[in-house]
A and B are shown apart, each in its own frame.
Chain A
Amino acid sequence: MKIINNLRDFLVDHEYYIDIFEDKLHAYNYQKLLKLNDKDLMLKFEKFVLDVKGENIKILEMNKEEILIKGNIDSVRMINEK
């Protein structure tokens, strides 16, 4: 897995990326999980905070760099920290 990740890092030169699906959200290269409850999830990235609002929000997979969540997502908002 490390080889694949390194290769991906080399090929995809992004600081972060966020994939939004119908009932899922995948975030890569986040820094911190700031808030978590059934209706709200906040992730800190290097330059902004991602605020995901909805209902029945649950984490499916989680590690230091990536997170996959599931739920009825109502809104995704980027809050700049300037």
Chain B
Amino acid sequence: MKNKNHKLIVSVKAKNKNKLLLKIFELGISISKINYKKNELEFEVMLEDYFKLKKYLVSYKFNIKGSTGLDKIINIIKTKKVLFLNILLAIILLFIFSNTIISVRVIHSKKYIRDIVASSLEDYGVKKFTWKKNYKELNQIKNKILKKYPKNLEWLEIEKKGMTYIVRVEERIITDIKNDDSKCNLVAKKSGVIRKINYTKGQELKNVGDYVNEGDILISGSIKFNEEVKNSVCANGEVYAEVWYSSNVKLPLNYTKSKTTGKKRYNFAVNDKKIFRSRLKNYVTKKKKLFKIFGVNFILLREYEVENKSYKYSEEQALVKALELSNEKIKMKLSEKEHIINQKVLKKDANNSTMYVEVFTSVEEIISKQENFIEEEKEVE
């Protein structure tokens, strides 16, 4: 209340309010917003005049109810200091958090791209625990990085997501034209009899039906005419040949098969620990998760009774099974374009419980691979 011009809201008890108002007039005091209440009068008066009232009208009891204007605001702030400090702190924190970056994530599958972008961003001040940059600044940084790595980066985007910068990058892929200048032959990586030849570049040196050894040139990169090399290219294509494998299969003759009997029992489990003991001897269990509370899983178990029966393969059955197993084993090595041509049992041997079978398999597979060669320089006579 240092400001003498500020107004106070004052209440005063008075039976004869008009008499009081006349007295106030006599003192030359200005009052406003006069409110007539029962046995009480409320009005606004300057601080200076309030002291005058207190001094001259001693028979009345004046009470300050509040203040107006700026002082009212200051008073509210003073009385609710903690609340206002908290609000202020919250605003400051909100401002800090909404303008601070706590992580920069560069999204790309290649590590070296991530590294060059991350280091460049750091150089330009885009790093964690720094202030956010505006759109214009980010755009400038983006262009600078793209200019810095024209051979590596095609496109870059910096996206603000909360307190994180998400940087998406696209790598620039420059086709190496020099590769087209390389010279190569198609050579055999396995021995076999050629069944099919598909090629787009080069000169065919072997024909369908030819037996080739490992390392033989199948399609040459040197294009010759009348024994003279006219051009050198990188031979391209696929040569399919019949190749042979022999595999050994060991098969137990006795085996057991499980069959459900139709009997079903319910059980419960808590984190994989059964609650009730199962009443079935042999059974298989199906689990169904019911719910989870504080990390504890409650599971419903359905137990189906099974009956195990023992069987024994006959010799014919065992041979069929052995061929199946050998077939599966070979097929695992083959691609979609390759296939098994034929299978034969070479040798079989059986004792009481096990059968040993040697299987011969002929397969059509791609035997060609590219191999670079250096062009021989012509001797000048």
Residues of chain A touching chain B, judged by Cβ–Cβ distance below 8 Å, are 32-33, 36-38, 58-64
Contact = CB atoms under 8 A, between A and B. Distances in A.
A64 B28 contact: yes
B34 A64 contact: no
24 contacts: A32-B25, A33-B21, A33-B22, A33-B25, A36-B18, A36-B22, A37-B18, A38-B18, A58-B34, A58-B36, A59-B21, A60-B32, A60-B34, A61-B31, A61-B32, A61-B33, A61-B34, A62-B24, A62-B25, A62-B30, A62-B31, A62-B34, A63-B30, A64-B30
A31 B153 CA distance: 89
Contacts of B25: 32-33, 62
Interface residues of chain B: helix, strand, loop or mixed (majority)? mixed
A36 B22 CA distance: 7
Interface residues of chain A: helix, strand, loop or mixed (majority)? strand
Contacts of B30: 62-64
Interface residues of B, number: 12
B38 to A, nearest CB: 14
A33 B31 CA distance: 14
Contacts of A62: 21, 24-25, 30-32, 34
Contacts of A64: 28, 30
B19 to A, nearest CB: 8
Contacts of A59: 21, 34
In this complex, the member of B18, B21, B33 whose beta carbon has the largest number of chain A beta carbons within 10 angstroms is B18
A16 B282 CA distance: 116
A59 B22 CA distance: 10
The 4 closest A-B pairs by CB, nearest first: A63-B30, A36-B18, A33-B25, A61-B32
A30 to B, nearest CB: 10
